[in-house]
Structure 1
Amino acid sequence: MSHIAFRPTLVLRQSMTGTEKGKACIQCLEVCGKNLYIGGKDSVIQHCVLLDPGKPGLAVQEVKSRSLGAKGLMSQMKGLPFLNHLLILCGGSISAYHMFSLELVPTLPKINNVSSFTVDDTAVLTQSISVELFTMSSKKGVISIYRVFMDKWERLREVSLPQEPLVMAVDGTCLCMAMNKKHVLYDHKSGVTLDLFPQESSKQMAIVKAVGNGEFLLNGPGSLGMFVTRYGTSNRPPVPWPEGVLAAVAHLPYLLTLQSDGLNVYSMLDQHLKQTISMHRTKGLLSTPDGVFVFTEREVYNLSPVPPEDQIEALLQDERVDEALKLLQGVKNQLPKDAYKSLQKLVACAAGFIKFNQGCFSEAKDLLIKGAVDPREIIRLYPGFAPLGGEFKAQLPAVFNAIDLHLLSQADHPTFQRFQEFLVEFLTAVRGTAQSHSWEQEADCALLRLHVEIGDEAALIQLLSSLNHCLLSASVPYLEQHERFFALGLLYQSHGEDEKAVQTWMNIADLHTDPSNPNVYGHIVTFLSQQKSRKLVWQFADWVLQRNQEVGIQIFTETADSQETVFEDDVKFLTKYPKALLLYLEHLVNGLKSREEKQHTLLATTYTAHALRALGRGDNWDVAESTTRRKLQQFLRESPFYDSAQVKEAVVGTALHLEEAILHGRSGEHEKALQVLVKEAKDHQAAEDYCKMVSTGRSREDSQWLFLTLLKVYLASPQLVIAAVDLLNRNATAFDLVDVLQTLPSSWSLQLVGRFLSDSVRWIIHNRRMGHLEKSVIQVEHLRLKATWIRATRGMIKVERSQICQRCGRLLTEPTFLRSLKGELIHIHCRRT
């Protein structure tokens, strides 16, 4: 417990003579600002002035005393400062006295038959011109409501209750009452009653106190201090207090309970007992804005609250962080906004360091960020992390029992590594925020070292791949010492020293000295391909292409520069790298869909050179066909942009006969193309496929002419008779029978062309019959439509004035209409359209 929330100070001790011993002197108490009113025995009221309020050694000075001359005990007093009235309940009557002269106010007559009263404190605090007074009558179950003014009071109404209330508290229009058997809430404006919970009158003292903001404190069942709002709900957990509580008051954020042997102080924030103050024969409690007053039979004590700052500091010194944070939140509304923010920052920093030393890293990080702590305050705690900009002086006080990370790093490295991971998380969280705005270099240099020491290569690369403020003079030697050369290149890159970055990565690729990134070559290619300026590309292009032309060409194909501006220079440079040149041209033509004749022609001649080089080396025919030659043939067939004459010069006279045939065909020289395929390539199937390919999309006459031309090429050589016969037998439907008979030599026997003749005649007869069948189908369809039209126009048509044309929307007139095939009534001109 050992928490001091209030400091008790003796205010007044009444002396006792021999005849007064054993008699109770102080009956009730009231405090208004510096004015202290004590109601004593024999109806004597004593007015004192508090001296130096809020300081230790509080004293009073008696101003005046007066005997009321009434019989009975003085049980209640209530001051109304803005009216200068002091209401006193004595002998069952309420009287109004002047607060300073203690003279009876003549215009305010006594209110008799009163057992207790209460005043709406909200009106007192707002200093209204009047206040509502609620009295419980000595008659059972009656509450009277008065409005008290400066010179009069008005009786507003009486409220009859089914049971007699024991105690009562008021907040606005809501009355909270403890009756014999239950607690109730009653709205005296609307008349709505809400039952709460039973009242254990035989076991405990009835307590009902207004806490403020529409909230009440009640002595609930099972010795619980219950908080209830005016709507019957509870926004706070109950406070467990001991049996025998005589009185209770709330002085936010604490709750004080009075027993015969002293006081207990509970926190309304966590419902725990915080402080115990021993006193003997205590009688009553009184809460004021400045503190709490306690009185015994002859003594008055002031419980002055310890300033929140001092309470929080004491809790932090005891490392009771959670309690300190709860208390800070609890006193938020009691402090000025600027003072609270300043205190919150200091508390968060101190609490964060305590949690840090306790190893509660998640909470420590949140608190240190909330406290906007200087990152250097934490970095300095770690061994080997010297300040970059000279000597650093810590601004925050040292935490008691702070852990020594220097010793921990040597004695318990796993635990020390957890502290390192915390620093990484903290610096990562504050990086780029206002908290590290002035100390980016210290934070980033510390992160770099931590990633290396922990061995988190991914985090190190992520740090250096983005914008960072690592100091080169401190970071470069450290990375070289720990052989993090790939990260070193990233550091150079992030600081704009691209040439040093590429040179560093090249050394890794050549010497294999950094296993953190096995594909350093690929990273270099990607980096160079992303350069807006080609100066760096040209500087390292030879090294990149010498290692791998297929991958290295990306520095040209993926570059950000426009291809039109650099095409000539690229081609000139790539001539010494044939494979890379081919990939570059394919990227322009196929990838970028270029239509430049120069680029298409160069790609065709490059394909040709590769194909001839493969054939010259004696490469397998199928392999060459399936790669470069296949691409060349497809390109020659599909591309409409290359210069066929220039490509033909490169192809004619070589072993690329099929490619030569394609080029002849592109020029319309189909007979030459067939001559090449038949006589030079000696590929009869290719010649036949050529005829089929060229015939696609053309008229039947053109197709017949092309196949007849191939037949004539075969017939011109006696060695190709069998090829001619096979051509006729396989493609009988592609020839005109009459032209073939006129072309064939007279020496050929009927048996030799019998199959061709049979297939041709069958095809001719089939076509003729299909023609007759199509003609018949068309005639039938025509007759069907004609019959439908006749049926639609033959019958009588009744036309009414309301009918309209179903096409143009105008009214139908006689005889300018008819019925359509669909049965619609339409105008004649609409039918024509």
Structure 2
Amino acid sequence: MDVVNKLKENIYTVSKEDKSCIQCLECYDRNIYIGTKDATVQHLILTSSTKGDMSVGLTKIREGRARKLGSSNSVTQLRAVPLFNHLLVLWDRSVTALNMFSLEPVPALKKIQHVSLFEVCDSSLTSQATCVQMVTSSSRRKVLLIHVVGVDRWEVVKEVSLLQDPVALAVDGATLCLATSDRYLLCDIQTGSCEELFPHNHSRQYVIVTSLGQGEFLLNGPEYLGMFVMKMGICQRPPLQWPQEVLGAGVCFPYILSLQPELLSVYSMLDQQRKQTVSLNGFVPILHGRVEEALLLLEGAQSHRPLDSYKELQKAITCLAGFAHFYQEGFSQARDLFIKGELDPREIIRLYPDICLSVDFQSHLDQINKGRDLQVLEKEDRNKFHRYLAFLGDFLRAVKGTEQGLKCSKEVDSTLLRLYIEMEDGEKLQQLVAFPNNCSLDLCVPLLEQSQRFFALGSLYESHGMLNDAIWVKITDGFYKDSSCSDVYGHIVRTLSQLRDKDTVWEFADLILQRNQETGVQIFTKRPPDGQFETPDVLTLLEKFPLALIFYLEYLIHDLNSEVESHHNRLALAYVTQMLQKEDETDSNVRVTRGKLQQLLWESKFYNISTVYDSIKSTTLHPEKAILLGRAGEHCQALQMLVHEEKDLQAAEAYCCRAVQDQGSQFRQVHLLTLLQIYLSSKDLTGAAVDLLNNHPQVFALEKVLQLLPESWSVQLVSQFLIGSLRENFHQRQMGRLQQALARAELLRHKVIWVMDKEQNCSVCQRDLTEPHFARNPQGELMHTGCMGHSAL
């Protein structure tokens, strides 16, 4: 309104009788540009309060610069190009470029003459980030010119011929929509092709061509219809039914603004209905309840009322404006106004009689009949009523936890619970009851029981610190059925794992472990670091739950890095017990457990070898016994067991590699020689001995192997091993020589660098020493090797 009043003042400054001095407007951000009838461009700047608030009453107008273009002729069009800070002006049939802020001409851009209309493409829609496109209509020829506009240049890149002169045009990307004297056309800038849309009566109606963006245009069509036309030439929206005297139109998505004599109408693009009308006679808005006008009047009376009284009155009127939007389904505006006006949430809650749980609230607003309207709406239009329910949830969530909502937090949370049950929104219901809340148990418990939301009821008890009453324990017993949650058991475990009340944990842990040991043990393994229970107490509890005991011992050793010998002994023995209880050794669980046991025996340094060995000595767990013998230093005995007891030659060979994993190749050779001797001591293992030699020719020392081989073996039998071993020895010698050569080269390189750094000269020829080879005379002076014969001279 301040902007309009400022424009109105400009009208009267030129001539009290000439009310049409403003010919065109252009806006960008907080800048407004006015083109007048007397060839003047005026710059106005919107300023805000020190807090940056641009709301009604706090925005002010500051006059910027003005520029007089000439002595006559009107400024016809203004277009801002913020990418280059250009303001393009159509005056006297010429397009001129001015600086947006100083209004000084841009020297590099010479005016474009003989222009009747022009339009600028939105720079965000062009493929070039450093320029924009401009379309001009020639006043001399029936042609459109496509210009590329840069910061210091503009040039014509294309011409589009027409059959008639355009009277209005708009551009969106590569599509141009224009009106001639009797019809509307669509033109493709790139191809130059034109498509006729429909005729119009220029003598009886104003021609309107406006771009809506996304390749859509708004046209003033026949029969006084606002037609939405896509760039493909089709309509995807129903037309607007507007009056005959529409003078112009603009878009502010999702609304269309149409200008009529002394009226401004606002239409919705979604349902094509008129939503608001503003009178331009005296600039007074016409709204339901006239609350916006009341706010403006209140702003004017601010200085005449006490501050507290003014603020209270402002809040009251703001809330009334919110109710006006509320009953017109303007829910977003209503929510913002209710929050701004600090409306007591109970004033909204009480409008929903079937949702409201609070009865001891005295309203300060006369909205009783409106509440009854919602009751009727619930019966007559269920879909519309659900939109009002969605608004209630949106508003209450917005104020929950704020100062506005904390004044009645019990009513807010209880109403949200009732609302989520009504709308069958189980996810939001669970989020509400699972976190700290102020729901009234007296009101909410019966609701949850009636709707059979027993899991949510248990969570509600839990969030209020009443774990012993948590109903989800009875759900796991099958006492209650609740299909809303499929993981009640997991929830109980997660809850107990975070609970610091040890008595409650001990009370429920036994029951939970009886249901599922693998999940139940997480009560102890998922606890926070500062909430751990005493390990001996947990181990005592888990003695009757062998699977849970294994998981807990694994947690102690692998996660907490326990070095307690009893923990490692106990885990190994638990693995052994679990394996021996399974008769089928091919069972996948047995294989997994056996792998864990072997890994523990290989890697752990803290178990007692003799204790574990005694537990499996009489069993068939030969690989495990071999590992224990190896850990005790009895490698030969371990290999004997793998070869003769387990009869697994691959395991024996793998043992030789694993047993010396961190000790180097020398120890591996010793173990492989021991394994070779075991093979050679049995006639049945001759083939295994040959395979062992052939598989590791690079490891065995040739001379040691030859001492062990029986005299009866032929050279052909071990030829593959001999060839491989000789090749390996030869390779190693060659590699040694190569390394020595590289070392000598590196030493020589360092000598060269040393000589170069000292900038030494030959004592004979006085030239620089630039080669790695040099000599010294008896006095220690350096010289080229080629100068040695001249040094005696």
TM-score (norm 1): 0.54
Paired amino acid for 1:749: S
In structure 2, distance between residues paired with 1:232 and 1:697: 79
Out of 378, 393, 412, the residue aligned to residue 443 of structure 1 is: 412
Residues 410-434 of structure 1: per-residue CA shift (max 9 Å, x gap): 3333333333222222222222222
Out of 767, 771, 774, the residue aligned to residue 733 of structure 2 is: 771
Is the CA contact 2:420–2:429 (under 8 Å) kept in the aligned structure 1? yes
Residue 349 in 1 paired to residue 319 in 2?
yes
Paired amino acid for 1:272: L
1:340, CA displacement in angstroms?
2.5
Distance 1:358 1:777, change over 3 A: closer
**Match in the other structure for 2:489:** 521
1:473, CA displacement in angstroms?
1.1
1:498, CA displacement in angstroms?
1.9
Is the CA contact 1:509–1:521 (under 8 Å) kept in the aligned structure 2? no
**Match in the other structure for 1:680:** 645
Paired amino acid for 1:473: D
Secondary structure at 1:436 match in 2: helix
**Match in the other structure for 2:585:** 619
**Match in the other structure for 2:156:** none
Is the CA contact 1:691–1:706 (under 8 Å) kept in the aligned structure 2? yes
Distance 1:442 1:772, change over 3 A: closer
In structure 2, distance between residues paired with 1:398 and 1:425: 20
Alignment of 1:206-217 (within 5 A): none
Residues 211-231 of structure 1: per-residue CA shift (max 9 Å, x gap): x9999xxxxx99xxxxxxxx9
In structure 2, distance between residues paired with 1:433 and 1:783: 78
1:662, CA displacement in angstroms?
1.0
Out of 712, 717, 720, the residue aligned to residue 749 of structure 1 is: 712
In structure 2, distance between residues paired with 1:787 and 1:591: 52
Secondary structure at 2:581 match in 1: helix
Alignment of 1:130-169 (within 5 A): none
Out of 570, 573, 592, the residue aligned to residue 560 of structure 2 is: 592
Is the CA contact 2:524–2:532 (under 8 Å) kept in the aligned structure 1? no
In structure 2, distance between residues paired with 1:350 and 1:673: 91
1:773, CA displacement in angstroms?
7.2
Paired amino acid for 2:311: K
Paired amino acid for 1:368: F
Is the CA contact 2:433–2:460 (under 8 Å) kept in the aligned structure 1? yes
Alignment of 1:129-528 (within 5 A): 178=15, 197-198=37-38, 272-273=280-281, 319-329=289-299, 331-332=301-302, 335-384=305-354, 388=358, 391-398=360-367, 404-501=373-470, 503-507=471-475, 510-511=478-479, 513-528=481-496
Is the CA contact 1:508–1:514 (under 8 Å) kept in the aligned structure 2? no
1:353, CA displacement in angstroms?
3.0
Comparing 422-431 and 328-337, the one that deviates more: 328-337
Distance 1:471 1:553, change over 3 A: same
Distance 1:405 1:688, change over 3 A: closer
Secondary structure at 2:478 match in 1: helix
Residue 537 in 1 paired to residue 505 in 2?
yes
1:511, CA displacement in angstroms?
4.7
1:681, CA displacement in angstroms?
1.3
Unaligned runs of 5+ in 1: 1-169, 185-193, 200-211, 216-220, 223-230, 234-268, 276-310, 804-814, 822-833
Secondary structure at 1:755 match in 2: coil
Residues 539-584 of structure 1: per-residue CA shift (max 9 Å, x gap): 2223322322222221111013668752212222222222222222
1:374, CA displacement in angstroms?
2.3
**Match in the other structure for 1:610:** 578
1:512, CA displacement in angstroms?
6.1
Residues 95-143 of structure 1: per-residue CA shift (max 9 Å, x gap): xxxxxxxxxxxxxxxxxxxxxxxxxxxxxxxxxxxxxxxxxxxxxxxxx
**Match in the other structure for 1:644:** 609
In structure 1, distance between residues paired with 2:584 and 2:19: 111
Alignment of 1:23-62 (within 5 A): none
Is the CA contact 2:289–2:324 (under 8 Å) kept in the aligned structure 1? yes
Secondary structure at 1:575 match in 2: helix
Paired amino acid for 2:504: L
In structure 1, distance between residues paired with 2:562 and 2:609: 17
Residues 513-559 of structure 1: per-residue CA shift (max 9 Å, x gap): 21111221121121111212332222222332232222222111101
Residues 122-172 of structure 1: per-residue CA shift (max 9 Å, x gap): xxxxxxxxxxxxxxxxxxxxxxxxxxxxxxxxxxxxxxxxxxxxxxxx99x
Higher relative contact order (CA 8 A, sep 6+): 1
In structure 2, distance between residues paired with 1:627 and 1:351: 70
Distance 1:506 1:795, change over 3 A: farther
Distance 1:779 1:474, change over 3 A: closer
**Match in the other structure for 1:70:** none
In structure 2, distance between residues paired with 1:182 and 1:367: 37
Is the CA contact 1:182–1:195 (under 8 Å) kept in the aligned structure 2? no
Comparing 456-465 and 357-366, the one that deviates more: 357-366
Secondary structure at 1:320 match in 2: helix
Secondary structure at 1:319 match in 2: helix
Is the CA contact 1:532–1:561 (under 8 Å) kept in the aligned structure 2? no
1:360, CA displacement in angstroms?
3.1
1:365, CA displacement in angstroms?
2.4
Is the CA contact 2:761–2:783 (under 8 Å) kept in the aligned structure 1? no
| CA-based RMSD | 4.7
Structure ID, larger Rg: 1
Is the CA contact 1:177–1:183 (under 8 Å) kept in the aligned structure 2? no
The aligned length equals: 526
Residues 242-296 of structure 1: per-residue CA shift (max 9 Å, x gap): xxxxxxxxxxxxxxxxxxxxxxxxxxx9663479xxxxxxxxxxxxxxxxxxxxx
1:386, CA displacement in angstroms?
6.1
TM-score (norm 2): 0.57
In structure 2, distance between residues paired with 1:698 and 1:504: 56
1:783, CA displacement in angstroms?
8.7
Distance 1:181 1:490, change over 3 A: closer
Is the CA contact 2:697–2:724 (under 8 Å) kept in the aligned structure 1? no
In structure 1, distance between residues paired with 2:309 and 2:742: 103
**Match in the other structure for 2:545:** 577
Paired amino acid for 1:619: E
Distance 1:702 1:424, change over 3 A: closer
Residue 566 in 1 paired to residue 534 in 2?
yes
In structure 2, distance between residues paired with 1:478 and 1:343: 39
Paired amino acid for 1:571: L
Residue 689 in 1 paired to residue 654 in 2?
yes
1:597, CA displacement in angstroms?
2.7
